[in-house]
Amino acid sequence: MESYPALENHGLIGDLQTAALVTRDGTIDWFCAPRFDSPGVFGGLLDHHKGGYFQISPDRVDYVSKQLYLPGTPILITRFLSADGVGELIDFMPVAGDRATDRHRLVRMLRVVRGSMRFRFDCQPRFNYGRDPHELQAYPEGGVFHSPALSLTVNVVRYAERLAGEHERRQSTEGICVVATLREGEAGGVVLETGSADPPRAYTPGEVRELLEETRDYWRRWLDRSRYTGRWREMVERSAITLKLMTYAPTGALIAAPTAGLPEQIGGQRNWDYRYTWIRDASFSVHALLGLGFTEEASEYMRWVNDRIQDAQEGGVPLQIMYRVDGSPDLAEETLHHLEGYRGSAPVRVGNGAADQLQLDIYGEALNALHLADSHGLQPFHQGWLNTVKLMDWLCDNWDQPEDGIWETRGGRQDFTYGRLMSWVALDRAVRLAHRRGRPGDTTRWVGTRNQIYDQIMSRGFHPGRRAFVQHYATDVLDAALLAMPSIGFVTPTDPMWQSTLRAMDDELVSDSLVYRYDPAASPDGLPGKESTFTVCSFWYVQALAQSGRLDEARLTFEKMLTYSNHLGLYSEEIAPTGDQTGNFPQAFSHLSLISTAVNLDQLLDARP
C-alpha cells in the first residue's frame, strides 16, 4: 500500500447508505459502516499504519494503473498494465435500499485479460478508527473479523476449486493476506459483508455477475431520468451520480462529503468531519436536482429540511446548521489523537463543533429552495407552512445580530454581509410563497423587515473606499460568498455597485479560474494555516461573469475548472495552487455548483443572439 496517495487518486463507490474510496493501486483506504457517519473500518487515508486498508494490486510487478467508471454507473474499474500482463479490478457496492441496515456488501472482482500477473489480496481492517480490538475467525471460504460493535465477513468468490494459479495464504490475528499468480482468463474475488452473523460462504461467479448487472441497471435507470442535454453532459451526469452516492436513502439526507479529517492544507489544522448534512447543502441540492429533472430526490431533500424545521420549532430553538443523516443534532467533536492524519496533518477530528454556530444564511437557502420547489409543483404541506411562518417570525426578531458566517470561521461573530443577504432572501421568498398560494402569515412584517435588511446592506455592506460589498460591516475584506448577489436577485448584474465589486474580486480573489473564499491574512478566522482556492466559489464566479455579460470569459473559466477534476470527474473541497485537490473528498458543494453552473451557463449561451 502506498503510504498516502494523492486525494485525487481515488474513486468513490457506495450503496446509498455508506461509501468507500478506492485508490488507483486498488486499495480501499476509507470505508465507514454501517452509515456514512459511523466509525471507520478502513481508515488508512488518515493513518497508513493504524487506520486499516484492503489492497488488491500487483505484487512485485512494475505496472501502471488506469481507472474509469462503467459508463452511467459508479461501478469502478481499475486496470493494471505491465509488460507481462493486464489485470482488471472491478469494485462496486450493491444498492442497500431505503431502509437503514447494518448489512452492506462490497464486491471486489479481479481478472487477468492478457498474459499473467502476480497479485496481493491484503485485508487489514481496523475498527472504530483503529481503537477497537478484533479477532479473526478463519474458514475455508474466507473469514470473519469480530469487533465489539461490528463484524466484517470476507466471502470468497469461487471461480474454481481453489484460487487459480500459484498462491499462498498468510493470516494473523489482525488480517488476511493472499498472494497469487493469475493467468489470462483466470479470476478471483471477494465479497465483503458487514453486520452478518453468518459464517462466510463461497459466492458463485453467477451470483456476482447478477449483483453487478443489478447494480449497473439500477444506476442507468436512475440516470435516464435526467433531462440535461447541454454542452457538458458527461461531467454533469458524473456529478449527479456522485451526489446520489452521497445521499442517505433512508432519510434523503445529502452529506457534505464521505470523509473526515482530510486537510485543507497539508500539515495544517483545518481538518474537519464532513460526513453530515448541512441545511445549506441540502437546500442547494434542490436547485441542482430540479435543474436536471430529479424531482423525487429534490422532494426527499425538502422533506428532510422540513423535518428539521419542525424539530427546531418543537424544541423552541433556531435551526442547527448541520445534522446527522438521521436528523440527530448530536455532532460532538472529538480528536483522534492516536492517528497521525493524512500526510501528518493533525489533529484528526470526528464530529463537528461548528454545528452549534449561528449562521443566518441557512434560512435564506432553505426558503429559496422551498420557493423553487413550489414553482416545480412540490408545494409545502399545511404543517410545513405553519413551521415556515414561525421560522420567519423568529428571523424577524433575530436577523440583526452578529453571527459566525457561512465559512464556519472560529474567530468570533460579526455582522456578516452574506448572512444579512440571505436573511433578505428568506423573507422575500416567504412573502412570494404566501402571495402565490394564498397562505397565512404576517407578510406586512416580513416585507418591512426585508426592506430594512436591504437598506442596511446597501448602507453598511458596501465599502465606499473599496467600491465593493465586503465580508462584514467592520472590515474592507472581500468575500466570494457575495458572488451570489445577482443570482438571488438582490442586485442587478449591470449595477455599477456590483460591477465594481466583481472587478475587485477579479483583482484580489481570482487566480486564473480559481477563486479564494477570502484573504485569511486580512481577515483573521481564528485558525492557523493558509487557504487553498475553494471550488464552489470558482463555479459561483463563472455564474457571476455570465450574468454580468462576460459570457465568453465565463465559458473559458468554466472549461478551465473542468480540467481540475480528477481522472474520474470528481472534485474535493479545495484546489491548491499546484492544482492538487485538498480537503474532504469528494465534496457535494463542488458538484452541486458544477451542475447549477452548467445548467445556467447553457441557458445564457443558448439565449445569446
Shared-domain flag, residues 154 and 272? no
Shared-domain flag, residues 216 and 234? no
Whether 4 is covered by a domain: the verdict is no
Q: How many other CB atoms are there within 10 angstroms of residue 478's CB atom? A: 25
Rounded distance, CA 609 to CA 445, Å?
A: 43
Rounded distance, CA 306 to CA 123, Å?
A: 42
pLDDT of amino acid 396: 97
Whether 251 is covered by a domain: the verdict is yes
Whether 71 is covered by a domain: the verdict is yes
Question: Are the beta carbons of 546 and 601 closer than 8 angstroms?
Answer: yes
pLDDT of amino acid 596: 96
Rounded distance, CA 322 to CA 307, Å?
A: 13
**Cell numbers found for residue 448:** 418591512
Q: Name which of 4, 202, 211, 27 is nearest 121 in CA terms.
A: 27
Place of cell 481508515: 43
Shared-domain flag, residues 180 and 255? no
CATH of the domain at 87: 2.70.98.10
Question: Are the beta carbons of 345 and 7 closer than 8 angstroms?
Answer: no
Whether 5 is covered by a domain: the verdict is no
Shared-domain flag, residues 537 and 589? yes
Q: Final residue of a domain: which of 222, 253, 270?
A: 222
Alpha carbons within 13 A on the beta-carbon side of 322: 25
Shared-domain flag, residues 191 and 252? no
Rounded distance, CA 574 to CA 480, Å?
A: 14
The sign of the CA dihedral 508, 511, 515, 521 is negative
CATH of the domain at 497: 1.50.10.10
pLDDT of amino acid 409: 72
Whether 3 is covered by a domain: the verdict is no
Burial degree of 365 (CB within 10 A; 0-12, 13-18, 19+):
buried
Residues 6+ apart with CB under 8 A from 456: 400, 420
Whether 1 is covered by a domain: the verdict is no
Q: How many other CB atoms are there within 10 angstroms of residue 461's CB atom? A: 22
Shared-domain flag, residues 298 and 424? yes
pLDDT of amino acid 412: 86
Shared-domain flag, residues 132 and 83? yes
| Domain containing residue 106 | 10-200+207-222
Alpha helices by DSSP H, listed for 230-360, are 233-245, 279-292, 295-315
Shared-domain flag, residues 280 and 212? no
pLDDT of amino acid 161: 41
Whether 86 is covered by a domain: the verdict is yes
Q: How many other CB atoms are there within 10 angstroms of residue 466's CB atom? A: 16
Residues of the chain with pLDDT under 70: 1-2, 159-173, 410, 520-530
**Cell numbers found for residue 205:** 461467479
Q: Final residue of a domain: which of 157, 190, 222?
A: 222
Cis amide linkage into residue 586, ω under 30° from 0: yes
Question: Are the beta carbons of 261 and 271 closer than 8 angstroms?
Answer: yes
Which residues in 520-559 belong to E strands, given as ranges?
A: 533-534
Question: Are the beta carbons of 149 and 39 closer than 8 angstroms?
Answer: yes
Q: Final residue of a domain: which of 171, 192, 222?
A: 222
Phi, psi torsion values for 180, nearest 5 degrees: -145, 150
Shared-domain flag, residues 270 and 312? yes
**Cell numbers found for residue 594:** 458544477
- Structurally, the chain folds into a number of domains equal to 2
Shared-domain flag, residues 306 and 403? yes
Shared-domain flag, residues 186 and 239? no
pLDDT of amino acid 159: 65
Shared-domain flag, residues 145 and 245? no
Whether 438 is covered by a domain: the verdict is yes
